[in-house]
Amino acid sequence: MSSDGEEPVKTICPYCGVGCGIKVREGEEPGDMQFMPWGDAPVNEGSICIKGGAATEVVDHEDRLTTPLVRENGEFREANWAEAYEYIVSEMERIRETHGPDGMGFFGSSKTMNEENYLIQKLARRYGTNQVDNCTRMCHASTVWALRTSLGAGAMTNSMQDLMEAADVFWIQGANPGEQHPIANSQYFRQAVLDGATVIQVDPHANKTTKSFQISETDRHMHLQNEPGTDIPLLNVVLSTILEHHEEHPEDGWIDEAFIAERTEGFEHLKETLADFDKEAAAETCGVPLEDIEAAARTYADAGNAAIFTGMGMSQHTCGVDNVQNEINLALVTGNLGRPGTGVNPLRGQNNVQGACDVGAMPNVLPGYQLVDDDEARRSVEDVWGFEVPDEPGLTNVEISHAAGDTVHGLYIMGENPVMSEPDGNRVEERIQELKFLCVQDIFMTETAKYADVILPATTWAERGGTVTNTDRRVQRMRPVHKVHESTRHDYEILCEVGSRLFDDEFDFSGPEEIFEELRQVCPDYHGITYDALGEEGIHWPCKEPGDEGDSFLYEEGFTTDSGLGRIEGVRHQPPKEVPDDEYPLILTTGRLEEHYNTGTMSRRSPTLKRQHPENFVDVHPDDAERYGIEDGDYVTISSRRGEITVKAQVTEAIKEGSIWTTPHFAAASANRLTNDVLDERAKIPEYKAAAAEIEVEVEPADEAPADD
């Protein structure tokens, strides 16, 4: 737009993965950014949630980082850019010379563009390490693993549009679109429900999704309120019910025998796994009446088209891969894949968490999910890059944090806040301080940036251009309003400068479009996409060749696994690594709020978003509240084996007796001070959703840490 701010710019909301289009223009005062609806935006048609409408409030916030900072004698001092770059390059070279390239780690960001995540993973690999990761490790790494292994691609199988138009049943497990993806919930789910679709929700916590479909007030929709960590036995009850019914009534078609025979493998393994399965005992383990689970199975299996939606309530477990695999099993045995209105669909939490993975900001894959230990894939990328790529997967971000001060001595972080986002936050904070070098590239002084050796002030979402990829694989352009603070720099500019100083001309890009053109060469699913082709509508990947329109749903003709078949694999219940005991008799589980966003770096600085929830709270069942002497509104201390936080109690039947529920959004009172950092063996995702805990009433309320308020 022009500098006088007369014409609004069409861009994408920086919050959740729905990818809503909005308009932004500069106001009368310098730096004043104004939100405007984009009436014909392809995803949301002008609708926006509270976070999207408030997104401009942080662009010129008084807390913005505006000049590079370098730590000297334990204190930060202002520095110029040349000095900051020189410091970074010298430290990275020193660490590589002393400890080897695996002495460094790199964190990409789901809040930055595809182009910027592409650059940071290329920088890591040019440095000589595959130790690069992004926050999908903490939200959907297990989902990506299961979907890629069993179907072929680690992404939603369908688009929101075809799901709204064709699905008869929505099976929503471990996801809360009413709160976490409000526009998808109101514009897609609700419209489908008005047209006759049925919702089955599986979640330990009653929430805004429960309320939005009036599940408690109708026989049509269902909420199966299971105990935390019991998703596998619940789905095994569903699968067993479907198998038993098919044995007696094959004419009902609950199992798609032709689909199984022609397009899948592993069905016999599933039957063997369930051969001695005790549905009654499993239902008791879940804390859900058996007849309710059987009724839900009947509704799903009877549907013409049934779609599964999965979220972090499924993925954030040490059995996260198996949780999602069982959802895949359900879809495959009933033939609910490869056509509109069906599939297994992860609802991604950040505006570019899908894209950050697509472009290779992960330790085991190159752009396009090509495995780093696949010689042919690696050579195809090396031919474009002109340098060799390490052939062994690197550490994940949680593993990098575990190794800080041991085998990892330096860390480059772009737009992430691991002190708050990773589990066992107190220990993460300690480990971060053991690093010999920490560089943080961000827009605010985060809880992590406080421990940096150098801080680089980046531009916000409204000031830079590039592409992002939403939850249903739609690649869209973000367009910039001019910079608010001239001394800040775009993330891609910073990475290009660091890369060029380290490695000469391999990072000499003039802008995001030129970076995207190289990305297209090494990412098969993006190969046919150009900036011109994206226009204002965007394109769903895979888009293999120029001129392709992309695929709104996947697997119509076959799966993209090595065998070409969808993989069915029976799985058994695995309890959480921590279960209640005498010392910690409760199960703590966590979730997000509509008004806040992950570590709260942006949302806690927004007056609009802070108004509803200015501080953290915990949901406690009335029976537990009576046992502990807790009144609604009391301040309580929640403790686990890793730490404690003080929050306000909310006495409610939204959570089951024996469980408590809180959020990660609030600095010193973050749930992640308590959560368990044990990992899924394959996907390396932590078990955020189940930790043993205790609770007690506080005599005096503790003050919320002022760090980001």
Q: How far is CA 402 from CA 105, 434, 462, 587, 683, in A?
A: 12, 11, 34, 25, 16
64-92 tens-digit pLDDT: 999 999 999 999 999 999 999 999 999 99
The C-alpha atoms of residue 294 and residue 282 are separated, in whole angstroms, by: 12
pLDDT, the chain, mean: 94
What is the DSSP code (8-state) at residue 481? P
Contact yes or no for 550/476 (Cβ under 8 A)? no
98-142 tens-digit pLDDT: 999 999 999 999 999 999 999 999 999 999 999 999 988 988 999
CB atoms within 10 A of CB 650: 18
CATH code of the region 586-697? 2.40.40.20
pLDDT of 217 reads 67
325-373 tens-digit pLDDT: 999 999 999 999 999 999 999 999 889 999 999 999 999 999 999 999 9
β-strand 659-662 against 586-590: which pairing, if any?
Answer: parallel
Domain at 9-58: CATH architecture: Single Sheet (2.20)
The C-alpha atoms of residue 393 and residue 384 are separated, in whole angstroms, by: 20
Environment class of 642 (CB within 10 Å of its CB; exposed 0-12, middle 13-18, buried 19+): middle
pLDDT, average across residues 646-665: 96
- Share above pLDDT 90 across residues of the chain, in percent, rounded to a whole number: 89
What band does 704 get if pLDDT is binned at 50, 70 and 90? very low
The C-alpha atoms of residue 675 and residue 247 are separated, in whole angstroms, by: 43
Contact yes or no for 376/115 (Cβ under 8 A)? no
What band does 600 get if pLDDT is binned at 50, 70 and 90? confident
β-strand 306-310 against 169-173: which pairing, if any?
Answer: parallel
DSSP string of 141-175, one letter each residue: HHHHHHHHHHTS-SS-SS-HHHHHHH-SEEEEES-
The full set of domain ranges for the chain reads 9-58, 69-135+351-534, 141-346, 586-697
The 3-state DSSP class for residue 82 equals helix
Strands ordered across the beta sheet of 466-469: 466-469, 474-478, 539-540
pLDDT of 143 reads 96
The C-alpha atoms of residue 574 and residue 557 are separated, in whole angstroms, by: 34
pLDDT, average across residues 665-678: 93
Environment class of 563 (CB within 10 Å of its CB; exposed 0-12, middle 13-18, buried 19+): exposed
What band does 504 get if pLDDT is binned at 50, 70 and 90? confident
pLDDT of 599 reads 85
The C-alpha atoms of residue 431 and residue 209 are separated, in whole angstroms, by: 38
Crossing angle for the helix pair 114-127 and 491-503, nearest 10 degrees?
Answer: 20
What band does 216 get if pLDDT is binned at 50, 70 and 90? low
pLDDT of 699 reads 66
pLDDT of 668 reads 84
What band does 700 get if pLDDT is binned at 50, 70 and 90? low
pLDDT of 702 reads 53
Class (C level, CATH) for 69-135+351-534: alpha beta
pLDDT, average across residues 592-608: 87
- Share above pLDDT 70 across residues of the chain, in percent, rounded to a whole number: 97
Give the burial string for 37-74 (b: 16+ CB within 10 Å, else e).
Answer: bbeebbbbeebbbbbbbbbbbbbbeeebbeebbbbeee
Contact yes or no for 363/394 (Cβ under 8 A)? yes
380-407 tens-digit pLDDT: 999 999 999 999 999 999 999 999 999 9
E strand or H helix that includes residue 355: helix 353-358
DSSP string of 285-324, one letter each residue: HHTS-HHHHHHHHHHHHH-SSEEEEE-HHHHSSTTHHHHH
ω before 204 within 30° of 0 (cis)? Answer: no
pLDDT of 706 reads 36
DSSP string of 16-37, one letter each residue: STT--EEEEEE-SSTT-EEEEE
281-328 tens-digit pLDDT: 999 999 999 999 999 999 999 999 999 999 999 999 999 999 999 999
Q: Tell which CATH classification among 3.50.50.60, 3.20.20.80, 3.40.228.10, 3.40.109.10 matches the domain 141-346.
A: 3.40.228.10
Query: Which two three-digit tokens encode residue 519?
Result: 């990305």
Poorest-pLDDT segment among 261-275, 434-448, 451-465, 695-709: 695-709
The 3-state DSSP class for residue 214 equals coil
